[in-house]
């Protein structure tokens, strides 16, 4: 099973979509193994968005991410990284497929409601960036035999 990081960005918190977005991941069958509200600062954002440091929108992006608390979530499941990315939709909410979080709930390429790790290696780094080990939980889902096949549970 994989774990992946999701951030509910300031727009999701302000617009009252925390529950709606968490529900979409829960309904899909992902297991919530970590959750917390945080204020982000330059230190964590410079690290998190290092790949965008040379972009013209970098400072605006950081200001936006600092404008309100965010909710950090860690989700677990088979192929969780790619499943979660598909649930979120493509970066620009106006282009994102209907049925995705960004496609259904957003209009912006920057205030796009959610962050989700793009690949497994980055997910591992991002989960460590936002969660201490003791803030992550391991537990059995009682219905997991109805969610996965026996083969899939062991992956
Ligand atoms: P990126 O990592 O390219 O996309 P994603 O979040 O889909 O993995 O970009 C990170 C964030 O930067 C993106 O969610 C919103 C912001 N952003 C802008 O504000 N303007 C832009 O033109 C792009 C590409 C991203």
Query: What is the Å distance from ligand 1's center to 112 Cα?
Result: 8
For position 154, what pLDDT does the model report?
87
Q: Is the pTM of this model over 0.85?
A: yes
Closest-CA residue, ligand 1 atom 9, reads 91
Task: Report the C-alpha gap between 84 and 82 in whole angstroms.
Answer: 5
Angle at 41 between CA 96 and CA 122, to 5 degrees: 50
CATH architecture classification, 2-153: 2-Layer Sandwich (3.30)
pLDDT above 90: percentage of residues in the chain: 97
Task: Name the residues annotated as catalytic.
Answer: 115
For ligand 1, mutation pick of 61, 92, 114 (most atoms within 8 Å of CB): 61
Closest-CA residue, ligand 1 atom 20, reads 110
Residue 72: enclosing H or E segment and its boundaries?
Answer: strand 70-77
Query: What is the Å distance from ligand 1's center to 131 Cα?
Result: 22
Pocket of ligand 1 (CB under 6 A): 52, 57, 61, 91, 109-110, 112, 115, 118
User: What digits encode the pLDDT tens for the residues 82-141?
Assistant: 999 999 999 999 999 999 999 999 999 999 999 999 999 999 999 999 999 999 999 999
Ligand 1 atom nearest to CA at 9? 14
Domain boundaries, the chain: 2-153
Closest-CA residue, ligand 1 atom 18, reads 110
Task: Report the C-alpha gap between 11 and 28 in whole angstroms.
Answer: 23
Residue 56 has pLDDT above 90, yes or no: yes
User: What digits encode the pLDDT tens for the residues 58-91?
Assistant: 999 999 999 999 999 999 999 999 999 999 999 9
């Amino acid at each position: 099973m994989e774990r992946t990081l999701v951030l509910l960005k300031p727009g999701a918190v302000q617009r009252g979509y925390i529950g709606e977005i968490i529900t979409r991941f829960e309904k899909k069958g992902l297991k919530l193994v970590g959750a917390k509200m945080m204020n982000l600062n330059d230190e964590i954002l410079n690290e998190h968005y290092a790949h965008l440091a040379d972009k013209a929108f970098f400072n605006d992006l950081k200001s936006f991410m600092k404008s309100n608390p965010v909710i950090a979530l860690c989700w677990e499941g088979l192929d969780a990284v790619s499943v979660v990315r598909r649930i979120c939709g493509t970066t620009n909410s106006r282009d994102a497929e209907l049925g995705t979080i960004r496609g259904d709930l957003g209009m912006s390429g920057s205030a796009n409601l959610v962050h989700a790790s793009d690949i497994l290696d980055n997910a591992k780094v991002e989960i460590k960036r936002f969660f201490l080990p003791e803030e992550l939980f391991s537990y059995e889902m009682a219905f997991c035999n109805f969610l996965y096949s026996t083969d899939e549970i062991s992956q």
